[in-house]
Structure 1
């Protein structure tokens, strides 16, 4: 609630009720007052109509209740007039006389005939003894009495048997109601038990006609006013008349009717026999429908006219509110626009300015409207130019794209603005003046200048790069951009761009698989997705420049939306020369390593060669002596010569193996047998092992696949590992029983691919932690005279074959019991991978 209402609330409460209502009414919003003024008459009419309906409904309910009470009284009177109790008393007295043997058969017939004449509704009487035998029967009771003679399990009327048995057990009169069927009308049977000296002696069966009870028991004055009917326990009609049941309607609707009805059981039968009375209803009673319909019609017409008047007023109010909202919306739009709006008449006088125009210039609306040129926001230095522009504007010679001017603010500062002029047309289609929109472009001009300076700096950076950069659209020989180095190498044409793309193996215009389809495969692809594609690169040698170039290409979206390809070519000649020199040096280092290895093994090799040479010398001297003494036969000479040849062959094999091992050659990967490589490596290392008194146990798995490797390099790795193992055992000074090296070559599966695992295990002292950390570091060695390139070259050789080398200590509890060097080389798709792998020298 507003604060003013809270302040005026105590004073308003002290006024009389009428004055309080007036005060409350004045505080309401006009729209709320209109709504209340329209709804109050409609509510009054509806309340009046509701009061009339309530009154008619109340009178109708009163009339219905009175009629219900009358029906109830008459039904109770009818139930009393049925005289069923009187008949039961007469029959009970007759049954008592039969039980006391006061009546014989003839007396019973006379008494029965008398009762049939006295009570027409009694159709028959029968005396049945305890053996189901009929002593005597009159009227319609003879048939059920005869039926009851049949045995209980063969009687077709089990109900009669049950009633007979019930009367016998309960010693009370039993009522049995028989419904209407094709042979008999609805009847009621009464079984009165006969007790002779407290002993059951049979029953007295009486049959009463339900139609007779209705015809002789219901008073005529009651049937004249109501529809009286006798019903069974299930509501089935036994006798009388029934009015069809109508749809039950509300008490309070005077135009609906329903029948008053009342039901009650007939004594002493109980709920097995009901008497019901229904009132005849032919009209609405005391409440006439004409008056109700007249009042209802007038109320509906009044309410309809009030609603129509309210809807019409509401539509007019909505149109007025929409007009006000539209005006306010347009005014709000004009005030919230950042573009200044100015309207002039045909004489050049300002007739309208919006809030943005006033904010931009700093002048108030009252100061600008009605003013003529020169306007106060014109700078003094530009008045002649602005005056000429105004003359062109008034004459209709304005530029469609607008023109740029300087505008002076009230504080004397200026800003750049762009003006757009258009004729001002009224609702009749007549031009009444000119409208001008003004936009402050000071900031865009500043940004444009900064962008121009940034572009110049960016161009200067690209021009100074030591890489050639060129951009050309796909499928065209137009050159969109080229920096200084490109122009120096290839000129100003796109031939160099296309040459670099073609020699690098990168397509300048990607196409689909269909060679006949010239549609670009990248057509329709979003430019932001194209810009994020990975860069493709390649290395080429340009014979014209005499340089090695690394060419990188990628797709990009040019400033005009076209798909272009950028090529960056970098001079890598010095790098390629350095790589070639490094490869040469590495190859020399590997060769030197093999020479050093054989130099270290020189004494062992000399000892190994001394044996066959000594044997050759001995065989030759022996043969010479025996030939001179003529003590040798031809067979002995041939045997000695054969042994001499074998020893010479052995010496030649040793020299050839050493020569092939230390021979300098390029890496040559060929299909090689693993067992052959292992045996040749063992043969080379066996000299060093025997010199150091170290035994070698080796195991090579059967059926190993052929590997595409350089066998000399793999043998160099195995020889180096075996020599290191022998040196480690010799350094540890292990006893003879523990001077053992184990070599195992088995197939394995590593990183999801098949491989061959080579492992060399020794029984030395193992590797210290600081040595393990720098194990493969170049020129690091634990030997006093070592060069530190053996293991480094071994790892390079293994990795060049796409394998891995590892080293680990072997523990016996907490004590180091040796060391294991192992490496694996993959065999799955080894051909393709090996050809793509770098040489071990790199």
Structure 2
């Protein structure tokens, strides 16, 4: 009986407390709601008033900052304009046009900047050069008539002090504020005008050339503020000692107005200004209707909130039921799949494992949850490597691991290794935030063994084919795709079937193969005809690529593993044999060239001997005529004819000298070198070809560096080389430009300077034109004997030029030039490099230096 009483007390005690709590909730809940509502109303009223006040103060501060920024920007722009005018004045010197332009800039600045009343240019002697003044109203006109008055003296004294400050600092400076009275002598706040100077120094190098002085008005500073702001707020300019300089409106503000102020930093050495803003705030009392509306709104909001809570509870219960169903379905699906599934947090700690993973590893769920890498089911000797691999796979940027997975090894609890492939996906919560990772582990031990056996068998077969020094390829006849290619084929033709078709005759051969197989298939469906398996005879084929290789090709048709017809091709490189045949042919041609050169040398020697006598006679006849004319005493005739006859005699002698040099060159004699100025040789070459150039409406321009040293060359032979190169350049330009437009053609250029990129330095001569350039197929053979692109040419000019330069131990080559867009050829440049001293002098100098070295 006592036990039953104790049990009843234990059961009835909590029930009594539950009834008390329920009664308390029923009785005191409305009262608590009223108290909360009253407190909320008070808080709302105070918050609204405070918020409104803060909004007005914030708006006032924004407008003040906007006005400050506008004023500072205007002063910065004015200073930049004045600095530009000071630099123009410093660089103009005595140029009156530039000074007139500066004055126009000053007047334009005064037209735009209403805060500037006057602008002066003062020279270094403190003399006013010119004055630019804005005549906007009567008040500004008064400022122009202050000379001689007390106000004028105060303004001049302030200007003088500001100039001294600018001189001392080397920067723009501002003066103190100057208060001007009304012209009638009455001083009133509405008629008082405050001005100050800004001085911009003018420097020419390190010399002070004067100043630009600008007279600002304090009222003009307030004019920078937009009119709509001044209509809503009152702006005041005050100094540090609270002295008012300018005010935008004379209206007084009530006690409840809001006010704010900020400092105006308009320059490095500027007067201290403070911008103050005042406003008239709107009334902030809340009406009874507003209060009623708030109460009704809150009541409606409470009812709506209760209804929303009920609906939300229903939705939540439905979501919980769906979630439970989804969870049961997921658990059933995870238990039925053979794929092991793990869950990890962002630190890699295991947060979930399914039944299949536990069976795969032999570990229980309680032993795996909470583990961090390295895991106990990893091999001991590969834990570090697999941990690094896992960290790399868990990187959100590593998308390859998510798509293709990562291979690894898992050791079962009994020590048996398992090959696995793991796929990774991010785990995202309902807020779209990643909270971890989900990994799926698949056992690939059996498939890995099968693949390894197949790979070993294929590797043996591929090794044999890869070791062949012939290209082996198989191409599908239906699709034209490359089915197989060995190493030799890939190195020569790439990884597509283009090289295969190049070796068998191109796409036309492919279409022919398709038609042949279709016809044979119609005759013998399912069984390829025996003719298709016969191997073709070998052919020597050169593909259409740029390699220039020759191949001996054998091909046949074979059935591929998918029972479709394919073509097998074996191509052996026979380029070495072809090159040997070509080399033999070239040797025969060179023997023919040598024979022609020998014959030409004999003819040149005979011509030189035969031409020397008539050239000597021409020179003697010219000199005889010269002496006869000199003895006749006719000064007009001597002045007009004698120079021409003397030049004719000189050219005849020069022609004979050239012939002698060429004859000696043909006989392989050394050039007759002497220390010669290359400038004279270039001038002679230009002078010889100027007449021909002018005849074709062309021109030649020479560019010779100063102080070029003399070089040991044969001047006649070098002159002959330059004449030949210049003539070729003129011909190239003449062919590129029609006769009607040659007057606008660029000139042929010849330049000479030192090439210091080589050691020792060499003399560089360059002849360049803007013709059509030289084709790449020609530029490699243009120096060969008997090779010419001209119908009337013998093909020996450039060959002789290179031989002359090489006999001087120099170099001669040609290079095409491109247009600025690098789309087509735009001329050619021939470059000559000549040593600055002969080989004999260099060897003597080396011997002398070796003898002077200490033993």
Structure (1 or 2) with the larger CA radius of gyration: 1
TM-score (norm 2): 0.24
TM-score (norm 1): 0.25
Task: Compare relative contact order (CA 8 Å, sep 6+) and give the higher one, 1 or 2.
Answer: 1
- Report which of the two has the higher share of helix: 2
